[in-house]
Amino acid sequence: MTPEEQEFFAAKHEWMLTAVPADGTVALSDGRKLDLFLADPQAVRPDDPKYLVVVLPGGGYEFCSFSEDHIVGRFFARAGLTALTLDYPTRWYEEALSSGAGVGRAALHAVASVIKELRTRPELGFSDHKIIVCGFSAGGHLAASMATLYGSEELKDLGVAAHVLRPDGAILSYPVISADPALAHEVTFSCFTGSSDRKCWERYSCERNVTADTPPLFIWHTATDQSVPVGNALAMAQAMWQHGNVCELHVLARGAHGASLACDEIDPGVFSHTDAYLAQWFEQAVTFVRTFVR
């Protein structure tokens, strides 16, 4: 990514913080403060459990995209699901490769530690909530990794049982999933691992880490995605079904990568992916959560 592109996305991120203000913050014990979007009481269904969605923007592990951040949290809140947005650690592609230090472990820890605190600190007010991770593109890879690696060695040092870190469900939006050479997104896996060696990527090929205990997944992708092949979504869904897990897959006939909510509210008059056809995924995802994560 060029310096000009880096500057553009940084400016858009700052704009988003003002344009879509959070309702408050959740203070973690490590000093982090996550932006909080409170569920609209009028949209909360009385027969539902309480839900909390942790939103993980995309950006190839190089940055956290403004179009998949606050606005997504706001939409979940409108739908009756409380949401937090998490800007996890990232590193520019060239820096990750030149240093040999990927952000994967730090990013995975960032998500896992949030889930740990939500579950183990009642004073935060969310210990009785069902926790959903919702990721876009590289954030989808992070969400899928959290859904499959919650009991892994990488997270043992958090000092809690695996079930404490296990999300109750996940929403994967045009996710990076597979290290298969025909499917792998090079920037995402290189920034995650700090290596261009595809052998290093295989450990984090999410479809290979699915077990019978992987939580319910809602996955959506477009057939015409030129950045992350739709085969990523297919591979994850097939692995889920092969293990007898709950998984719903939507492959939309058209649409470019990075569509997010596909609505003009993301960046009024500017956002190029506004499309009511694509936007239908969001309501379907909320319905899936309310049906299968209980």
Residue 240: predicted pLDDT: 98
Q: Using one digit for the tens of pLDDT, what is the confidence trace for 209-260?
A: 999 999 999 999 999 999 999 999 999 999 999 999 999 999 999 999 999 9
Provide the number of structural domains found in the chain: 1
Q: What is the pLDDT of residue 270?
A: 84
Residue 96 belongs to domain with CATH number: 3.40.50.1820
Which residues of the chain are modeled with pLDDT < 70?
1
pTM for this model (two decimals): 0.97
Confidence (pLDDT) at 1: 67
Q: Give the chain as a DSSP string.
A: --HHHHHHHHHHHHHHHHHS--SEEEE-TTS-EEEEEPPPGGG--TTSPPEEEEEE--STTT---GGGSHHHHHHHHHTT-EEEE-------HHHHHHHT--SHHHHHHHHHHHHHHHHH-GGGS-TTSEEEEEEETHHHHHHHHHHHHTTSGGGGGG-S-HHHH--SEEEEES------TTT--HHHHHHHHS---HHHHGGG-GGGG--TTPPPEEEEEETT-SSS-THHHHHHHHHHHHTT--EEEEEESS--TT-TT-SGGGSTTT-TT--HHHHHHHHHHHHHHHHH--
**Residue 149, domain extent:** 3-292
